[in-house]
């Protein structure tokens, strides 16, 4: 996994978690949902990069 893509994925996950928790603290369901979506997007990006690395190592 390239370092920049890994960093982007982690940053996206952290931002999503922060937004979700901020929404939870103020009771804003929309903010919670957006934070969860951003967190999930970061996790998906990380998983994609891991799959790419797996196939790269095999070939």
Residues 6+ apart with CB under 8 A from 53: 1
pTM above 0.85, yes or no: no
pLDDT of 59 strictly over 70: no
Instruction: For 2-57, write each residue's pLDDT tens digit.
Output: 778 889 999 999 999 999 999 999 999 999 999 999 999 999 999 998 888 888 87
Q: Which pLDDT score, from 0 to 100, does residue 24 have?
A: 97
CA–CA dist 20, 52 (Å, integer): 29
Q: Concatenated DSSP letters for 18-38?
A: HHHHHHHHHT-HHHHHHHHHH
């Amino acid at each position: 996994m390239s370092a920049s893509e890994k960093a982007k994925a982690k940053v996206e996950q952290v931002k999503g978690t922060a937004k979700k928790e901020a929404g939870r603290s103020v009771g804003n369901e929309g903010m919670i949902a957006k934070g969860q979506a951003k967190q999930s997007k970061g996790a998906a990006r990380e998983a994609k990069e891991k799959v790419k690395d797996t196939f790269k190592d095999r070939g």
